[in-house]
């Protein structure tokens, strides 16, 4: 019986490797703080990657569509319960992470005799200003990291994320249009998706927001307005 802890650790390591293998081929998602709100971008082949959660909260995810939908539903239920029992203003990314998404992912990851959740994601909250936005990078094992610089990236290779974040921080300014911001994110998407590291030295030229054979999905969680702040964007009309 003394080797049971070691067997569990070995099983967890194998589980982590299995999930990483299942995520191969999935493409990154982005969340970017802007003066208007938080912009989310994902590129898919028919399955959505960007979702509304609650009032000023949204999710961008990559992974197995069924698992993503399962976690989306769990987040929506937790957010509405929190808003009903307390107040809508009390629904925050931190509470959703600590009491809903994080525990669910951790439990699914550590239950080695059941199917894991195959998903990496970003959970965001639009604040009253870009500096008050909350962007969280969440891993399949329930661990998370809050990004304080207004740029968040989720990719199958976490080691490649810092370079993408640094490049975007350098090339994103508040005076850019939403379309220009999205084009820079799409440029970073191409570099990550192709496994490259050669980010453009200058900004990205104007052109269509498109990827052959795929759908570019964009949404803005607006700072102003009523209770519903999530607004899908049409990539074909952005300048």
For residue 2, is it within any domain? Answer: no
Residue of 54, 105, 40 whose CA lies nearest to 235: 40
Count Cα neighbours of 82 within 13 Å in the Cβ-side half-sphere: 22
DSSP state of 22: H
Range of the domain at 190: 22-234
Cα separations in angstroms, 36 against 134, 177, 230: 15, 10, 12
Estimate to the nearest angstrom the gap between the alpha carbon of 117 and the chain centroid.
15
For residue 82, is it within any domain? Answer: yes
Per-residue pLDDT tens for 210-225? 888 899 999 999 998 6
pLDDT of 203 above 80: no
Confidence of residue 1 (pLDDT cuts 50, 70, 90): very low
Q: Tally the domains of the chain.
A: 1
For residue 151, is it within any domain? Answer: yes
For residue 8, is it within any domain? Answer: no
For residue 39, is it within any domain? Answer: yes
Q: Looking at residue 73, which CATH number applies to its domain? A: 3.60.20.10
What is the C-alpha to C-alpha distance for residues 12 and 141, in angstroms, rounded to an integer?
Answer: 10
Confidence of residue 2 (pLDDT cuts 50, 70, 90): low
What is the C-alpha to C-alpha distance for residues 163 and 191, in angstroms, rounded to an integer?
Answer: 10
DSSP state of 160: G
């Amino acid at each position: 019986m003394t080797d049971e802890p070691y067997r569990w650790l070995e099983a967890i390591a194998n589980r982590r490797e299995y999930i990483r293998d299942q995520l191969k081929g999935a493409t990154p998602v982005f969340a970017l703080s802007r003066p208007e709100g938080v912009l989310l971008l994902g590129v898919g082949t028919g399955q959505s990657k960007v979702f509304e959660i609650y009032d000023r909260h949204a999710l961008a995810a990559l992974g197995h569509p069924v698992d993503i939908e399962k976690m989306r539903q769990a987040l929506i239920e937790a957010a509405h319960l929190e808003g009903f029992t307390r107040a809508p203003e009390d629904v925050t990314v931190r509470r959703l992470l600590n009491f809903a998404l994080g525990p669910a992912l951790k439990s699914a990851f550590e239950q080695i005799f059941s199917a894991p959740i195959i998903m990496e994601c970003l959970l965001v909250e639009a604040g009253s200003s870009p500096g008050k936005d909350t962007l969280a990078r969440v891993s399949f094992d329930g661990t998370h990291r809050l990004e304080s610089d207004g740029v968040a990236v989720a990719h199958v290779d976490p080691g490649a994320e810092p370079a993408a974040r640094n490049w975007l921080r350098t090339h994103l300014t508040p005076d850019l249009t939403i379309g220009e911001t999205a084009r820079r994110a799409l440029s970073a998407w191409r570099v990550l998706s192709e496994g490259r590291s050669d980010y453009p030295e200058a900004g990205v030229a104007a052109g269509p927001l498109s990827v052959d054979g795929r759908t570019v999905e964009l949404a803005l969680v607006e700072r102003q307005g009523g209770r519903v702040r999530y607004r899908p964007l049409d990539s074909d009309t952005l300048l």
